[in-house]
């Protein structure tokens, strides 16, 4: 039986163990029909067409997992063309039947993925909340009273609810990130121009981006890489030159002072602060920065002439079908009539002046970490004040495309009642898309918030995103070098950062060594022992620092290969067996941290 969350690792494993694409499609059909949210899809791929797609895949590529996305089900926001299904942009009168897939969809299908349907959205991708559709408002998978985020509302809910492995959204102001935060997902927003927009109904053509909703950063990045690449048919498509970021000790910009605005939501503020501390524990240098020029740039997207681009996208249709628009969407788009060509140039001048101001802030940091959304609202609250409440969601997202940034949104945990999730996002300069991923993945794993609707599930080890192999050397620590322990500074001061926590396999025993300052444990492998494993952390060190660190380890400690409970083998601290003969065995405590804590309580 398949779990709720259909991440790539889980499905590939199931396929390798005998599951067929047709069997998966039958499961998807069952899940779609039993969903308690009727507003997720606008058009579902008919059941027989889904079955035919599974059979065609096996005929084309018989071997399981022989294509990068072999048999992987995905959903598509209904402003992105899928041949055979109508494109409506959540406006039935606007609907048309495309003869070809959007470039992104074509590339994903060629890689073996199967489209399960077109998802609901804020009409014409105008909104960040998900309530502006004649097909209803998709709801947060955690509370049906709350919005799912938009405009890519249905796409996010489809993944979080386990109806698809991933989905496509679009992001002009934050629509590929806010729904991720509200549904405990990862949202990958590429640098503008990295992924082609051919076959996408534009919102603001010059800053639109096709995005990915996934359950892990590793999945999202892998899917983005399949979609990306220059397409001359898109006038805004670009030849990407990947930019690098430090893989150790990155300088992360965080909000400070008056720029910290959460609209009274102390839970989200607390989760943001907790994410900052997790980033610090992973080796980041935390740098307060001035968000003001970024915020002022963000305000231009809806309170400046860029709103005229929304009118340009639907001008002729609005002239003949104004009554078919959602009232709020129509009011926003018609607001563009207040701007003229002079305003457009003046808006561009203001943006460039703000871009210059942001350069001073970028000089202080490698990338930013911001709340994905500072708060959330119920559907009733949003509908009662749709413009103002919607603008709150975009406070930290609206600038990213205007300022040519890459971004990855990740879960940050749940509020104090365990009720609603929140998220943070890493934002970097143009084409840092791959460079942001390792830290984003590490931060997601450190949050221990699960994936989508399943908040207790562990992220698969096989989807982990690591820095380039020549940039670091992993080492397992078990005692005084653990996070917040007395010797942890020996790792952090050399540029090391924590990759993950974990446990050894059951063949290891832990002893408290006598006469060590500060106190240290000794880890010994006993092939005949069958325990529950010992708590460890895996840290990454620059190669030169690793060499110096290993040379400085005092006897009877040393390094060797340690087998973890996921069967991986990593170099780490071990102890000579003779040294534990007179030491106290503490294996029963599960790890050094728990032993130290309980010893302090008994003292």
**124-149 pLDDT, tens digit each:** 999 999 999 999 999 999 999 999 99
Q: Do 68 and 192 sit in the same domain of this protein?
A: yes
Decide if pLDDT at 272 tops 70: yes
Average pLDDT over the chain reads: 95
- Nearest Cα neighbor of 373 from 417, 329, 403, 409 is 409
The values of phi and psi at residue 23, to 5°, are -65, -40
Residue 325 maps to a domain: no
**Of 440, 463, 486, the domain-final residue:** 463
Q: Do 486 and 451 sit in the same domain of this protein?
A: no
- In this structure, the strands spanning 186-189 and 209-214 are antiparallel
Least confident interval from 16-25, 33-42, 164-173, 472-481? 472-481
Query: CA-based angle 148:29:50, to the nearest 5?
Result: 110
pLDDT band at 551 (very low <50, low <70, confident <90, very high): confident
Instruction: Return the pLDDT at 466.
Output: 80
Q: Do 434 and 515 sit in the same domain of this protein?
A: no
Per DSSP, the three-state class of 596 is helix
Read off the pLDDT of each residue in 492-504 and give the average, rounded to a whole number: 80
How many structural domains are present in the chain? 2
Instruction: Return the pLDDT at 142.
Output: 98
Read off the pLDDT of each residue in 215-240 and give the average, rounded to a whole number: 95
Q: Do 421 and 522 sit in the same domain of this protein?
A: no
pLDDT band at 504 (very low <50, low <70, confident <90, very high): very high
3-state secondary structure 418-452: CCCEEEEEEEECCCCHHHHHHHHHHHHHHHCCCEC
Q: Do 408 and 525 sit in the same domain of this protein?
A: no
CATH code of the domain covering residue 558: 3.10.490.10
pTM metric for this prediction: 0.81
Taking the C-alpha atoms of residue 36 and residue 30, their distance in angstroms, rounded to an integer, is 12
Decide if pLDDT at 514 tops 80: yes
Torsion sign across C-alpha atoms 257, 260, 261, 267:
negative
Residue 169 maps to a domain: yes
pLDDT band at 409 (very low <50, low <70, confident <90, very high): very high
Q: What is the DSSP string of 493-504?
A: TTT-EEEEEEEB
**Of 435, 463, 491, the domain-final residue:** 463
Q: Do 226 and 123 sit in the same domain of this protein?
A: yes
Least confident interval from 68-72, 171-175, 366-370, 502-506? 502-506
Please, what's the b/e burial string for 9-39 (b: 16 or more CB within 10 A of its CB; e: otherwise)?
Answer: bbbbebbeeebbbbebbebbbebbeebebeb
Cα pseudo-dihedral 104, 107, 109, 111, rounded to 10: -140
Q: Do 492 and 449 sit in the same domain of this protein?
A: no
CATH code of the domain covering residue 109: 3.90.1300.10
Least confident interval from 104-113, 263-272, 551-560? 551-560
Instruction: Return the pLDDT at 469.
Output: 61
Instruction: Return the pLDDT at 312.
Output: 92
Read off the pLDDT of each residue in 334-356 and give the average, rounded to a whole number: 95
| Residue-wise pLDDT tens digits, 234-268 | 999 998 888 989 877 899 999 999 999 999 999 99
Instruction: Return the pLDDT at 470.
Output: 61
Q: Do 558 and 441 sit in the same domain of this protein?
A: no
Q: What percent of the chain shows pLDDT beyond 90?
A: 85
Decide if pLDDT at 471 tops 80: no
Q: Do 215 and 116 sit in the same domain of this protein?
A: yes
pLDDT band at 501 (very low <50, low <70, confident <90, very high): confident
**Of 414, 441, 463, the domain-final residue:** 463
- Nearest Cα neighbor of 267 from 384, 152, 159, 181 is 181
pLDDT band at 541 (very low <50, low <70, confident <90, very high): confident
Read off the pLDDT of each residue in 275-285 and give the average, rounded to a whole number: 95
Domain that holds residue 478: 472-602
Instruction: Return the pLDDT at 303.
Output: 86
Q: Do 145 and 245 sit in the same domain of this protein?
A: yes
Taking the C-alpha atoms of residue 565 and residue 330, their distance in angstroms, rounded to an integer, is 56
Report the catalytic residues. 77, 151, 175
Q: Do 449 and 482 sit in the same domain of this protein?
A: no
């Amino acid at each position: 039986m398949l779990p709720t969350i259909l991440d790539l690792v889980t499905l590939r494993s199931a396929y390798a163990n005998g599951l067929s694409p047709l069997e998966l499609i039958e499961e998807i059909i069952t899940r779609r029909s039993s969903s308690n949210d009727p507003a997720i899809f606008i058009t579902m791929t008919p059941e027989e067409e889904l079955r035919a797609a599974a059979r065609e895949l096996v005929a084309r590529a018989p071997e399981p997992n022989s294509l990068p996305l072999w048999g992987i089900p995905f959903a598509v926001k209904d402003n992105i063309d899928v041949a055979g299904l109508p494109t409506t942009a959540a406006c039935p009168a606007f609907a048309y039947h495309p003869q070809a897939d959007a470039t992104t969809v074509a590339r994903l299908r060629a890689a073996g993925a199967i489209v399960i349907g077109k998802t609901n959205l804020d009409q014409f991708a105008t909104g960040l909340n998900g309530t502006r559709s004649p097909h209803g408002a998709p709801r947060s998978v955690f509370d049906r009273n709350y919005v799912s985020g938009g405009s890519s509302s249905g796409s996010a809910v489809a993944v979080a609810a386990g109806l698809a492995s991933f989905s496509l959204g679009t992001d002009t102001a934050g629509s590929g990130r806010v729904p991720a935060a509200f549904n405990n997902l990862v949202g990958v927003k590429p640098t503008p121009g990295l992924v082609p927009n051919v076959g996408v109904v534009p919102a603001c053509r010059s800053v639109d981006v096709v995005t990915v909703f996934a359950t892990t950063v590793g999945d999202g990045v892998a899917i983005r890489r399949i979609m990306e690449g220059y397409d001359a048919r898109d006038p805004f498509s670009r030849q990407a030159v990947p930019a690098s970021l430090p893989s150790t000790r990155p300088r992360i910009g965080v909000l400070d002072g008056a720029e910290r605005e959460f609209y009274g939501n102390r839970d989200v503020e607390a989760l943001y602060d907790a994410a900052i501390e997790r980033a610090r524990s992973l080796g980041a240098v935390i740098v307060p920065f001035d968000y003001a020029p970024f915020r002022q740039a963000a305000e231009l997207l809806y309170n400046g002439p860029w709103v005229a681009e929304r009118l340009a996208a639907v001008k002729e249709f609005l002239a003949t079908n104004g009554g078919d628009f959602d009232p709020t969407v129509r009011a926003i788009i018609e607001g563009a009539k207040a701007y003229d060509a002079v305003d457009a140039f003046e808006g561009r001048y203001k943006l460039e002046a703000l871009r210059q101001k942001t350069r001073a802030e970028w000089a202080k940091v490698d990338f930013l970490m911001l709340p994905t959304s500072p708060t959330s609202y119920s559907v009733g609250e949003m509908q009662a004040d749709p413009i103002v409440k919607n603008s709150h969601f975009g406070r930290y997202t609206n600038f990213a495309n205007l300022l040519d940034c890459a971004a990855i949104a990740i879960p940050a945990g749940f509020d104090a009642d365990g009720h609603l999730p929140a998220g943070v996002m890493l934002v970097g300069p143009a084409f840092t898309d791959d460079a942001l991923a390792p830290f984003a993945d590490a931060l997601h794993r450190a949050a221990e918030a699960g994936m989508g609707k399943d908040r207790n599930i562990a992220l698969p080890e096989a989807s982990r995103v690591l820095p380039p192999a020549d940039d670091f050397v992993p080492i397992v620590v078990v005692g005084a070098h653990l996070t917040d322990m007395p010797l942890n500074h020996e790792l952090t001061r050399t540029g090391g950062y924590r990759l993950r926590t974990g446990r050894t396999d059951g063949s290891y025993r832990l002893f408290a060594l006598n006469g060590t300052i500060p106190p240290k444990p000794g880890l010994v492998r006993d092939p005949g022992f069958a325990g529950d494993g010992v708590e460890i952390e895996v840290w990454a060190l620059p190669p030169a620092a690793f060499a110096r660190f290993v040379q400085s380890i005092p006897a009877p400690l040393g390094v060797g290969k340690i087998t973890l409970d996921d069967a991986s083998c990593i170099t780490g601290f071990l102890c000579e067996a003779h040294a534990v003969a007179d030491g106290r065995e503490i294996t029963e405590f599960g790890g050094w941290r728990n032993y130290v804590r309980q010893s302090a309580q008994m003292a």
